[in-house]
């Protein structure tokens, strides 16, 4: 069976979480299958290995899982983007609108060096707001966004449209 099918067969759909009408794509069953989780890391690293990447930024919290694993495979640093108030040292922050209210994310000022080429990684692309926030933090730090990497893309939400402005590669292992 190919990797895409194995992932689709293993991801758990949880209806009405965290609120009615949302089908949550639960990736935790993938982590219980050690071989599958390792194959996912391999597939990400294989895809991005030919791109010039100096660092990988992973988005809290599920973006840390394969983001860091891929960074180790590619031999580049991993830099976390976290929700406001979680990172202890000096940060850049970026506020963005959600369907209801707003959110704010941060990155350590010394996480990215000026001129570095950076890959953004998260588990899932929905509307794209979170990935854009991470990209804006990278720009604030003086880095250049070279790509966006996701395990899952919810194509029907067209989040890819909001990433067009960065003129960089967008790759997802599976799309719904």
Applying CB under 6 A, does 130 fall inside the site for ligand AMP?
yes
Please select the residue that binds ligand AMP; options are 5, 16, 22, 161, rule is CB under 6 A.
Answer: 22
Residue 82: active-site member = no
- CA-based nearest residue to 141, from 78, 89, 87, 93: 93
Compare residues 113 and 130 and give the one whose CB is closer to ligand AMP: 130
* E runs forming strands in the chain: 12-15, 23-26, 55-59, 78-83, 91-97, 102-108, 117-125, 144-153, 169-175
Applying CB under 6 A, does 123 fall inside the site for ligand AMP?
yes
Please select the residue that binds ligand AMP; options are 62, 108, 117, 121, rule is CB under 6 A.
Answer: 62
Angle CA 167–133–17, to nearest 5: 115
Residue 62: active-site member = yes
Applying CB under 6 A, does 24 fall inside the site for ligand AMP?
yes
Taking CB under 6 A as the binding criterion, the range among 2-10, 76-84, 128-136, 165-173 that sits at the site for ligand AMP is 128-136
Applying CB under 6 A, does 80 fall inside the site for ligand AMP?
no
What is the C-alpha separation between 163 and 148, in angstroms, rounded? 8
Asked if 118 and 112 count as a contact pair (C-beta separation under 8 A), the reply is yes
Give the catalytic positions in this structure.
62, 99
* Residues of this chain that bind ligand AMP (CB under 6 A): 22-25, 59, 62, 122-131, 159
């Amino acid at each position: 069976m190919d990797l895409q099918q194995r992932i689709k067969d293993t991801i758990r759909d949880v209806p009405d979480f965290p609120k009615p009408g949302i089908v949550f794509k639960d990736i935790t069953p993938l982590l219980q299958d050690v071989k599958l989780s390792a194959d996912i890391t391999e597939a990400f690293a294989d895809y991005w290995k030919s791109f010039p990447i100096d660092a990988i930024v992973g988005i809290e919290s599920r973006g840390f899982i394969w983001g860091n694993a891929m960074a180790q495979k590619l031999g580049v640093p991993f830099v976390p983007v976290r929700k406001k108030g979680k990172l202890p040292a000096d940060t850049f922050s970026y506020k963005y609108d959600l369907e209801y209210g707003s959110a704010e994310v941060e990155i350590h000022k010394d996480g990215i060096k000026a001129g570095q080429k950076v890959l953004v990684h998260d588990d899932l692309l929905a509307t794209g707001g979170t990935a854009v926030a991470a990209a804006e933090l990278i720009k604030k730090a003086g880095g250049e966004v070279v790509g966006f990497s996701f395990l899952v893309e919810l194509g029907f939400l067209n989040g890819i449209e909001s990433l067009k402005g960065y003129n960089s590669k967008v790759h997802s292992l599976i799309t719904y």
